[in-house]
Amino acid sequence: MVAPLDVGHRFQQASNLALNEVVARRRAAGEPLVHLGFGESLLPVPPAVRDWLADGAGRTAYGPVAGDTAVRAAVAGYWERRRLPTAPEQIIVAPGSKPLLMALMAVVDGDVLLPRPSWVTYAPQARLLGRPVHHVPISARYGGAPDPDALRETVRGARRRGGRPRLLILTLPDNPTGTLAPPEAIRRLCAVAADEDLLIVSDEIYRDLMHSPDLPFLGPAEVAGDRTVVTTGLSKTLGLGGWRIGAARFPEGPLGAGLRAGVLAVASEVWSTLAGPMQEVATRVFAEPPEITAHVRAGARLHGIVTRAVHRIVTAAGADCRAPDGGFYLYPDFAPVRHRLREHGVTDAESLQRHLLDRLGVAVLGGHHFGDTPTALRFRIATSLLHGDDDEQRGLALRSPAPERLPHVASALAHLTHAFGTLTAGEGTTPA
């Protein structure tokens, strides 16, 4: 008999995917839950996309690790239309943007700098590769990017203590806060990156889901093009999470070429290439024909309406919460009503997540999963699963002029109003 192997301390399943499986089991058992715990878009996929998959069925051979020329040209065109001149030689496609992010951390020999809070997977990927992580606070106005002054201070402090901070990861717009770092912040961050010789990864997987097309978007690749890698994917904008299609754009010049060669090396040893039929889909989608653009735009509008509705609910219940700019997340802070929550035995992010799930039928991910202070009363809300339980309901929401008034959406919002109201109503105890 061989001894059990204790891997639990070192490896735990990604908290968002794990929670998603818990919610699926409880719902299958009949529990009425409002699922705000998983950032998955299930909006109906345009029918043409399914045809494109079938068109790619003949692509059974391995092909180049980076993806074939056609798919890389399509992705380059996508970034060209976003003010970033791009050659196909700067592109790699992959089964999702996750493995690309992991490969970038593997290739850059140095520590990782993350906003606090930031997406659940960045820090575990760094741990998997033995890369130290430095968390840098965000400002009160936006997330996805650290406060520039705090970044400089963290880098210098880490170096004084023998650390080697090198790779800064930004999320534009952000998961978990749903906000976009403004152009001025990006310029200041790029200046710090230049002074301190940092490389930047700009995770722009939510970029096409800005709620208003008028909000100015400035990515670090436009400011610090020689040191910025941009990543994206089709999971969020097109509801294709289960197809695993991601892409990265590397800088022009020797640094970019070296980074890309390193990521290709890791790719060749870990995932070989993006599956051929998925390369066919990516070739067609990244070309952005009008049916795709219109579909993405409609989804962005829907996400904006529903996310703002939930924002009103949590702020009415007493939370502080940055107003959302894009994607489908909110990151409320219940510190202003900490005394009320204590009446329910809720004293930190973990007990808050548990109380919401077990007592109030609301699944969220506590801020501790995002690298945030465990004692803070913060959590992430994903609104992307509020549009309905099946394709018919979700299609209705996508086309409706007032989706928040559709009965199935309104009833979920009413559940939330009641749940957060109950959480913070309290018994009138005096704040301690």
Which residues, numbered 233-272, are part of the site for a copy of itself (CB under 8 A)?
Answer: 239-244, 254-255, 258-259, 261-262, 264-266, 268-272
Instruction: Determine if 232 is a binding residue for a copy of itself (CB under 8 A).
Output: no
The rounded distance, in Å, linking the Cα atoms of 322 and 34 is 22
Tell me whether residue 87 or residue 128 sits nearer to a copy of itself (CB atom): 128
Contact positions with a copy of itself (CB under 8 A) in 359-398: none
In this structure, how many other beta carbons lie within 10 angstroms of the beta carbon of residue 157? Answer: 12
Half-sphere exposure in the Cβ direction for 334 (13 Å, CA)? 30
Report the nearest approach of a copy of itself to the CB of residue 128 (Å).
Answer: 6
Tell me whether residue 44 or residue 318 sits nearer to a copy of itself (CB atom): 44
Which segments within 234-333 are labelled E, that is strand? 246-249, 329-330
Count H helices and E strands in the chain, helices first. 15, 12
Largest CA distance in the chain: 69
The rounded distance, in Å, linking the Cα atoms of 143 and 141 is 7
As to burial, measured by CB atoms within 10 angstroms (0-12 exposed, 13-18 middle, 19+ buried), residue 83 is: exposed
Instruction: Determine if 285 is a binding residue for a copy of itself (CB under 8 A).
Output: no
Contact positions with a copy of itself (CB under 8 A) in 177-206: 194, 197, 199
Instruction: Determine if 310 is a binding residue for a copy of itself (CB under 8 A).
Output: no
Tell me whether residue 192 or residue 314 sits nearer to a copy of itself (CB atom): 192
Contact positions with a copy of itself (CB under 8 A) in 68-107: 95-96, 98-99, 102, 106-107
Tell me whether residue 184 or residue 226 sits nearer to a copy of itself (CB atom): 226
Burial state string for 290-300 with b = 16 or more CB within 10 A and e = fewer than 16:
eebeebbeebb
- What is the identity of the amino acid at 10? R
Instruction: Determine if 20 is a binding residue for a copy of itself (CB under 8 A).
Output: yes
Tell me whether residue 258 or residue 336 sits nearer to a copy of itself (CB atom): 258
Report the nearest approach of a copy of itself to the CB of residue 176 (Å).
Answer: 17
Instruction: Determine if 18 is a binding residue for a copy of itself (CB under 8 A).
Output: yes
Tell me whether residue 95 or residue 332 sits nearer to a copy of itself (CB atom): 95
Q: What DSSP state is assigned to residue 207?
A: G
- What is the identity of the amino acid at 386? L
